[in-house]
């Protein structure tokens, strides 16, 4: 189990809700995850799904907005919050896709939650386990 005192600085990103931000976000958080001892492949895919969800569904029509990410470490988990300032969780028949994003996130995370803050937008909070063998001192 990792000593929280040795945890790296939290990662914070503030991105425009456009498709290239999906790539920027997943690569940055995957690197952070690898350093922290979480599975970078699982994290990378989950972050891609989360940010793509915001890009595709949070801002209907021609609007766009902001997606912020914050990755932090607890003693045994990597926790990533993805927050957008969009319209909140609602069906978007024009969004396209197969509707697989949240299902994949459910399979890739130890736990996740979706909330709508009172000031609007959506927050997706995901928890990924840390590899105990990576964090055990020799």
Binding site for other proteins (CB under 8 A): 19-20, 22-23, 26, 41, 44-45, 48-49, 52, 55-56, 96-98, 100-101, 103-104, 107
Alpha-carbon gap, residue 129 to 110, rounded angstroms: 6
Give least dist CB 131 to other proteins, A. Answer: 18
Q: Which is nearer to other proteins, 21 or 122 (CB)?
A: 21
Give the Cβ contact number of residue 104 at 10 Å: 15
Nearer to other proteins, 2 or 47 (CB): 47
Q: CA 2, CA 36: separation in Å to the nearest integer? A: 9
Contact 114, 46 (CB under 8 A): no
Least Cβ distance, residue 116 to other proteins (angstroms): 22
Q: Least distance to other proteins from the beta carbon of 118, Å?
A: 29
């Amino acid at each position: 189990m990792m000593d929280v005192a040795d945890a790296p600085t939290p990662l914070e990103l503030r991105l425009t809700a456009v498709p290239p931000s999906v790539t920027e976000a997943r690569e940055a958080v995957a690197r952070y995850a690898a350093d922290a001892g979480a599975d970078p492949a699982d994290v990378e895919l989950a972050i891609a799904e989360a940010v793509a969800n915001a890009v595709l569904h949070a801002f209907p029509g021609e609007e766009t907005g902001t997606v912020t990410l914050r990755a932090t470490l607890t003693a045994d988990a990597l926790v990533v919050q993805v927050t957008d300032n969009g319209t909140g969780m609602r069906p978007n028949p024009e969004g396209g896709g197969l509707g697989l994003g949240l299902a994949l996130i459910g399979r890739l995370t130890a736990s996740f939650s979706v909330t709508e803050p009172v000031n609007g937008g959506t927050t997706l909070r995901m928890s990924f386990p840390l590899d105990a063998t990576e964090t055990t001192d020799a």
